[in-house]
Amino acid sequence: MTYDDIDFSPLGALTGDDEVVTHSLVRDVRLPSGRTLALITLDNGRDHTRPNTLGPATLAELGGVLDALASRAAAGEIDAVGITGKQYILAAGADLSDVSRVPSKEIAKLVAQRGHQVLGRLSQLGVPSFAFVNGLALGGGLEIALNSTYRTVDASAAAIALPEVFLGLIPGWGGAYLLPNLIGIENALEVVISNPLKQNRVLKPQQAFDLGIMDAIFPAVSYLERSLAWADGVLSGTVTVHRKNEPGKLERLTKWPIAVKIARGMLESKIGTVPRAPYLALDLLEKARSGSRDEGFAREDDALAELISGDQFAASMYAFDLVQKRAKRPVGAPDKALAKKVTKVGVIGAGLMASQFALLFVRRLQVPVLITDLDQARVDKGLAYIRDEIGKLEAKGRIDSDTAGKLRSLVHGTVDKTEYADCDFVIEAVFEEVGVKQQVFGDIEQIVADDAILATNTSSLSVEEIGAKLAHPERLVGFHFFNPVAVMPLIEIVKTPQTTDAALSTAFVVAKGLGKNAVLTADAPGFVVNRLLAKVMGEAARAVYEGTAVADVEKAFAPLGLPMGPFQLIDLVGWKVAAHVQDTMTSAFPDRFYANENFHLLAELPEVVEKDKGGRVTGFTKAAEKIAKKAAGSSPVSADAILRRVQDGLAQEIKLMLDEGVVPEVEDIDLCLILGAGWPFIDGGASPYLDREGASERAFGDTFHHPPIRGIANR
């Protein structure tokens, strides 16, 4: 049976009134040689802020157009077919809102088969097909190109990628079979699996060309004209397309399985075995080395149907919606018109965290940035770090030499605090102790203007207490970054009972200017992320001190799907910081949080844990083991018991946070965990996962979501 024999009429139910149909507009182009190329332009009639997407109605229209062009080709009316997109955009992939409405696994399979039927037609027209990738090409957009005979790319295209694994899916419209057979297994592993798992990394046009995904690359100013001339040359034989990874040249016998084996080991080391999509993608890439295109497409159909109907995709869509919509419109943010214009920033401190702040502020806001510290040596060290990092950005080509020079000139360091006088926004990055922060702000308040905004980067202390001795505590906000500052996209903005809307608005506007997503939280111990991570870390420590081996504790946490185990996480944030956070939480909630005095003893060691090559914690160092054993019991806890304790503890804590009004809704907690703790999309943050695992019912007799967020196979 072929795809044309399948009844796709049930997909009509997925076509909602909200589908923005991407139309397939056709015109004949007379090439210089006299040949005729029928050019399809994909266009949804919206501007660049609403990319073309491939929903059911869009695919139906494109399929009809391709059928008509195949008939014209058979009649000798056209010599080739080209497909391109509206300005700046080819297509951003499938319409995920339609996919998320799929009612059954059978319909999910039809979604996969429909994409194969329509896009696969591009290689079965009876004449060559050319994909002119004039802009953004993600997922199904790139698969349009892969299904075409030849491909060119605009050198200014915004992004080229197969991001499906990031969303709990696989490239299911040809990508998992066609790509490895085009560019080789190692390159395909990078594009299909590695890049999506690296914060959804995308390819630049030159990279796509260098990998062999694209056959030619042309500058934006003459892109379509040169692409058409190139296509004419291919048709006439004056242009020869050279592909270094032609199917006959790909080494399949030994390199292919070895590359897959190495990739599997890396996946298990870095993400564990809970996520389904990366491993299904890996299986598809492995099997792509042999068999026909139809067999490869059939495997994609089955894999995509399994994933679309599963819990991980449902959770991913929930998480995707949070990041794409809720994060861009922060709940509780005052009118941005109230914000004070920031023309100069002050950073109190010149240590590593302070220097990271200064670098981010100067790079993103491009305003003068002042750093100070107790002595000039510390200031000079901070300035050297900032200038060195600017140099690295320049060396990587991420900024040009003029910009690098400008940024260096905007950063100034001194021990003279009077230079804060004309700063509009001052943030501290000093020792995590209330008295120290109170003194620092008390000194600065005497210098800055009356309407200057003061911000604290405290990770868990009371912002109201920090500002208790200020003459104007209403200007103080919590502005909590996550480490590494340049990478983590979240800032928790903390409001005290005194904080004015003007101060709060300024904080939100500054956060947006820094390229960060901000979430408003109440002034509660640990705010959101650290409160819940303290629960995770505390339960891990409790298990160790009961007598459970560190490696066994790390494994027990694996089903949570976090990007790293609890002790690996502690090692990343720093043992001193972790010890301080645990103290804060046990002081505030002694009956619910666990801390041990040995946290502080361990924090004094140069190395606390040992790791394998993948960075996973395998145990304590000998020195740490010696400290831990002094307080450890002799009753190891089972992995199931440890996992249940942390699940139930998280469910209880999240419910209490909602009851206390730390954030307005559970969606804000999940958003914080996704952006600030790397909680995986496949969990949807914490609350959908805890509902599915029964922890919510066990903790408070209900669920966070009604109905729980589950895949169609488990509803």
**Secondary structure of residue 84 in the 3-state scheme:** strand
700: Cβ contacts below 8 Å, ≥ 6 apart: 651, 652, 655
Q: Determine how many CB atoms are found less than 10 A away from the CB of residue 483.
A: 15
CA distance 594 to 287: 48
Q: Which helix (H) or strand (E) holds 485?
A: none
User: What is the torsional sign of CA 53, 57, 63, 65?
Assistant: negative
The structure tokens listed for 57 are 């109605």
The structure tokens listed for 48 are 């660049």
Residue of 61, 77, 143, 597 with catalytic role: 143
The structure tokens listed for 84 are 């391109």
The structure tokens listed for 502 are 């003007």
Pick from 536, 590, 680, 653: nearest CA to 200: 680
Question: Are 73 and 35 spatial neighbours (Cβ–Cβ below 8 Å)?
Answer: no
CA distance 140 to 93: 4
Let me know if 143 is a catalytic residue.
yes
Residue 592 sits at φ, ψ, to 5 deg, of: -120, -15
Which residues of 53-99 form beta strands (DSSP E)? 80-85, 89-91
24 alpha-carbon distance from chain centroid: 31
Residue of 19, 61, 164, 286 with catalytic role: 164
Let me know if 665 is a catalytic residue.
no
The structure tokens listed for 242 are 């050279």
Pick from 83, 98, 101, 92: nearest CA to 50: 92
Report the DSSP beta bridge partners of residue 39: 27, 82
Pick from 691, 695, 697, 680: nearest CA to 714: 691
Q: What angle do CA 672, 677, 680 make, to 5 degrees?
A: 90
In sequence order, which ranges of 492-565 are alpha helices (DSSP H)? Answer: 501-513, 529-545, 550-556
Q: Which residues are catalytic?
A: 143, 164
